[in-house]
Amino acid sequence: MEIGKKLKDARMKSGFTQEMVAEKINVSRQTISNWENEKSYPDIISVIELSSLYSISLDDLLKGDEKMMEHLEESTNVVKSTRKLIGAIILNIITVILLITLSMFLPDKSYYLILVFCLAIVSSAALLYQIIRRI
């Protein structure tokens, strides 16, 4: 059985509305709806809070749902996500260095350097967003 159905069944058995659950675990009602309809999955902290709220074991809640287990594994695998982030940072640095090096061979460098500068800002902003999102 998928986690969405388990969450909805547990909520109904507990006598809660989506609004009540959302208020108790500090998320929106739409978030609860998305979890129950499997449009998105809860994070591990929310799963623990739901387990406690519904008085259902984590084992019962999570067993049998491969997609949810993959989601939790991916979202909690810090080493894997850190490697991806470090790889993206290194790729960003190498790209900027290569573009600046190539600019040495162009007769009119000003437009090219502006393009390189804009690319560096955009890619750095994307990396900064990823770093902040992880915190």
| % the chain with pLDDT above 90 | 30
pLDDT digits (tens, 9 = 90+) for 88-109: 888 888 887 887 787 777 777 6
Domains, the chain, with CATH or none: 3-64 (1.10.260.40), 77-134 (no CATH)
pTM of structure: 0.53
- Residues 111-123 have a mean pLDDT of 79
Question: What contacts 45, CB < 8 A, 6 or more positions away?
Answer: none
